[in-house]
Amino acid sequence: MALKRIFRRMTEAERERHAKIIAAVEKEFPPKYKGKRHAAPGLPAAIRAAREKQGLTWYALAQKAGVPNQGTIRDIEEGKDVKVSSLQAVVHALGMELELVPAG
């Protein structure tokens, strides 16, 4: 016998019950982080904004840029050290330009 899925809106009582269950589970097993991770300010934030504007995931951008894995994209957005060649490839794949300017 196959089970059927029922698609309907939850009642307010069901919503409250689910919220209590989720809160209890999160209290017992707290998540590592809640919500979106924030990109480091400056270049990492600009790269993340461009990626999200184009609707790309870390994996999709890594494939488009020819970067070995999606962890490199995550590291760039978190402001961690990465190879300059990887950074250039990602920036180019996003249709952006990376340039150095004198401090000033």
Placement of tokens 């600009």 in the chain: 46
Domain limits of the chain? 43-93
* pTM, entire model: 0.63
**CB proximity list for 70: less than 8 A, separation 6 or greater:** 57, 58, 59, 61, 62
Report d(CA 43, CA 94) in Å as an integer.
13
45 HSE (CA, 13 A, CB side): 4
pLDDT on residue 35: 61
C-alpha separations of 3 from 6, 9, 32 in Å: 10, 19, 35
Mean pLDDT by 10 residues, the chain (104 residues): 76 93 90 69 92 94 94 93 94 92 82
Q: Would you say domain 43-93 falls under CATH 1.10.260.40? A: yes
68-95 pLDDT per residue, tens: 899 999 999 999 999 999 999 999 999 9
Radius of gyration (Cα) for the chain, nearest Å? Answer: 21
